[in-house]
Structure 1
Amino acid sequence: MKLPKDPVILVSYLNTQLRDFYPSLEAFCEANEADAEAICETLADYDYIYSKTLNRFL
């Protein structure tokens, strides 16, 4: 799966997917053959952090 490159669009897309379809980032990544660590590192550069408790990027 090709994820959006723009960080704001990526966060919006991921949070929508996590809210509507996946119980965790790991579940999303497994289903979509994505790398959770790479996603978190990329978004951390823009001050977005994944919250496991809330299952979303903040």
Structure 2
Amino acid sequence: MPEDPIMLFSFLNMKLRDMYSSLDALADDMDISAQELENIKKKLLDAGFTYDEKRNQFV
């Protein structure tokens, strides 16, 4: 998974758009723990992005 927040944002949104119905489904399939998922969300929040469940993407 990309370390750079912008690349991470792009990578996750592509996966969410093309393969997963939710962030939880992505995390489950990619074996991302709840703590790791929180760290990812925090990294993206620090870069100005939040997860929008209705759109199933980071915005």
Question: Does the alignment reach a TM-score above 0.5?
Answer: yes
Unaligned 5+ residue runs, structure 1? none
Q: Which residue of 2 aligns with 1:38?
A: 39
Percent identity over the alignment is 38
Q: Deviations over 1:1-27 (max 9, x none)?
A: xx1001111000000000000000010
Give the paired residue count: 56
RMSD across aligned positions (CA): 0.8
The 1-side partners of 2:20 and 2:37 are apart by 13
Unaligned 5+ residue runs, structure 2? none
The 2-side partners of 1:38 and 1:27 are apart by 17
TM-superposed deviation, 1:33: 1.2
Please, what TM-score do these two structures have when normalized by structure 2? 0.89
